[in-house]
Amino acid sequence: MPNYRKPKQMKELRKEKVLKENEEKKLELIEEKISSDLETNIKMTKGILGEKTGDLVVRRFHIGADENFPAAAVFIDGLAGKDIIDDFILKANMIENRGMKMDPNEPVTKQDLFKIVKQYSLTINEIGEAEEMRKIIRHILSGDTAIFIDGSEKAFGANTKGWEHRPVQEPKAESVIRGPREGFTETLRVNTALIRTRLKDPDLRIKHFASGERTNTNIAVAFIEGVCEDYLLKEVERRIESIEIDGIIGSGYVEQLIEDSHWSPFPTVQYTERSDKVIGNLLEGRVVILVDGTPFVLIAPSVLSQFYQSPEDYYERFWVATFIRLIRLLSLFVALLAPSLYIAFTAFHPEMIPSELIIAIAAGRATVPFPSVVEAFIMEISIEILREASVRLPGLIGPTIGIVGALVIGQAAVQAGLVSPLMVIIVSLTTIGSFASPSYSAATSIRLLRFPMMIMAGTFGLYGIMLFWLVIILHLCTLKSFGVPYVAPLSPSHFTDLKDVIFRAPVQWMSRRPLTVTPEDDVREVTKNPKGGGGHH
């Protein structure tokens, strides 16, 4: 076999060499310092970003209408806001500072120019100064305008970010009846601002990272200092810093790269589009990871209760909230177990079903030519196809096709004797049940586990269902999310936390933050009873 291996090795070596050369060429330019010559700077920028970059705009001008002071504004068309550049960079520097050299005794020199521009004529609030090419390129690529001034070894990166982005809209994937309607957008700055506007805590910290060799995606880690535990924060930062990948296109990349066990069907990092959910989690001492370019914000650590908890629970009064939470929990069980229980009961334990019902079931199944496992599989798989197709279908006809598919196919299948009517009921219940979970990723894992569960039910009946269920629970026990056991606070049990697990206690009871995420400061302030000390009105 050595013959076979050798050419491959050569090819790889050559590839490596080419890559290395390219990298070195680029690095040479990027590592370069900004020179005092304007033309060199422009050349270097073009060298790094490519000679034929169509959207790179280089606007040369003279500061203060003086031939001696050439300068250039470099920005990327589309990323930078043109109005800002016109009004506050070009107009301010070209026209409004014409009186710059009125005093004939102290003529402006090229050395002073940088300072003068910064202090008198660059009317932009946020400017960065850079001495290396690398920094200024980063500025240009993130929508800032680079201002090179001839004779100065520094350059400005003026904040002119102004690309088109989606406005804040109602989140599509997680809708609630009561609660704010604002969802995150694709723009990191908008998202951090959404958090800041609702959480005016001076202790709120937003740390920035950049990841992805080529995409240079900005990642922000938000937490409340003094509430969030140090260990958790360090762990999150360590994992984000250790990401090495060429591109981060969505928060899903970050999620998969930092989660604890990527083999598990269960999500160990939560994601959300809702700003209120993020704030609730920040207040509980969790860490929030915002990724530029995606409206989905990650929350760590996340535990099992994410499967059925929604921010809405805390807006409703506690009886209602508890009831709704129980319904969601039930629907998850239905989504996981209903088809398997149907299989187990009809195939193995008909004696358990009340006699009237079993007669009806038997009558319905009389024409069905398959065993109940096959019947269930046919129906479950076709509903999965239908579900996937209805996501892809163009907006308007999506729901129509869904209804047509479900109703017509279901009815026809029953009439053709392929499936029993009860099976249709079960399949619809299962599908609807899996949508009751507020977390889509959690519901997906339940959807996935339904199939092996059905196989176990088809082979061993109830015994198989229980064994598989046990293995699932064992697996849940092995999971950890950033050092927090996935099944906490059920185990290791913490009684004070249990009031917000299945039962949602009145807000007055929750005077302490859940200890599951070990917050540094676990005291929430609580309103004293407004009625006062039992006085009569």
**Which residues form the interface with another protein (CB under 8 A)?**
202, 226, 348-349, 351-355, 460-467, 470-471, 473-475, 477-478, 484-485, 487-494, 515-516, 518-523
- Minimum Å gap between C-beta 515 and another protein is 5
Decide whether 120 or 463 has the Cβ nearer to another protein.
Answer: 463
Q: Closest separation between CB of residue 452 and another protein, Å? A: 13
**Residue (348 or 377) nearer to another protein, CB:** 348
CB of residue 238 to another protein, shortest distance in Å: 19
**Could you tell me which residues come within 8 angstroms of residue 178 by beta carbon, excluding any fewer than 6 positions away?**
312, 315, 316
Half-sphere exposure of 56 (CA within 13 A, CB side): 20
Nearer to another protein, 22 or 478 (CB): 478
* Distances in whole angstroms, Cα of residue 519 to Cα of each of 93, 207, 225, 233, 277: 51, 19, 10, 11, 17
Q: Give 27 or 330: the residue with its C-beta nearer to another protein.
A: 330
Q: By C-beta, is 99 or 492 nearer to another protein?
A: 492
Our measurement of the distance from residue 182's CA atom to the centroid of its chain's CA atoms, rounded to an integer in Å, reads 15
Please say which residue, 76 or 361, places its beta carbon nearer to another protein.
361
Q: How far is the CB of 422 from another protein (least distance, A)?
A: 15
Task: Evaluate whether 216 touches 143 at the Cβ level (below 8 Å).
Answer: no
Nearest-approach distance from CB 344 to another protein, in angstroms: 8
Closer CB to another protein, 75 or 486, in the complex: 486
- The residue (of 65 and 352) whose beta carbon lies closer to another protein is 352
For residue 330, what are its two tokens? 């039930």
Q: How far is the CB of 353 from another protein (least distance, A)?
A: 6
Residues in the chain: 537
**Distant-in-sequence, close-in-space partners of 286: CB < 8 Å, separation ≥ 6:** 223, 228, 232, 299, 300, 301, 517
Cβ closest to another protein, residue 124 vs residue 304: 304
Nearer to another protein, 416 or 474 (CB): 474
Whether cis (ω within 30° of 0) applies to the bond prior to 295 is: no
In whole angstroms, the minimum distance from the beta carbon of 278 to another protein comes to: 22
Task: Read off φ and ψ for residue 117, nearest 5 degrees.
Answer: -60, -45
Strand order in 217-224's β-sheet?
Answer: 204-211, 217-224, 287-291, 297-300, 270-272
Tokens encoding 499: 């009031």
CB–CB of 156/167 below 8 Å? no
| 485 close to 477: Cβ distance less than 8 angstroms | yes
Residue 47 to residues 18, 56, 99, 416, Cα–Cα distance (Å): 18, 12, 36, 70
Q: How many helices (H) and strands (E) does the chain have?
A: 16, 12
Select 72 or 233, whichever has its Cβ closest to another protein.
233
Q: Tell me the C-alpha distance between 126 and 128, whole Å.
A: 7
Give me the least distance between CB of 486 and another protein, in Å please. 9
CB of 519 to another protein, least distance (A): 8
Task: For residue 143, give the amino acid letter.
Answer: G
Report, in Å, the least distance between residue 429 CB and another protein.
Answer: 15
Q: How far is the CB of 508 from another protein (least distance, A)?
A: 20
Backbone angles phi, psi at 144, to 5 degrees: -80, 165
Q: How far apart, in whole angstroms, are the C-alpha atoms of residue 442 and residue 322?
A: 20
Whose CA is closest to 191, among 218, 212, 159?
A: 218
Cβ neighbours of residue 199 closer than 8 Å, sequence gap 6 or more: 224, 279, 282, 283
Q: Which is nearer to another protein, 393 or 515 (CB)?
A: 515
* Least distance from another protein to the Cβ atom of residue 212, Å: 34
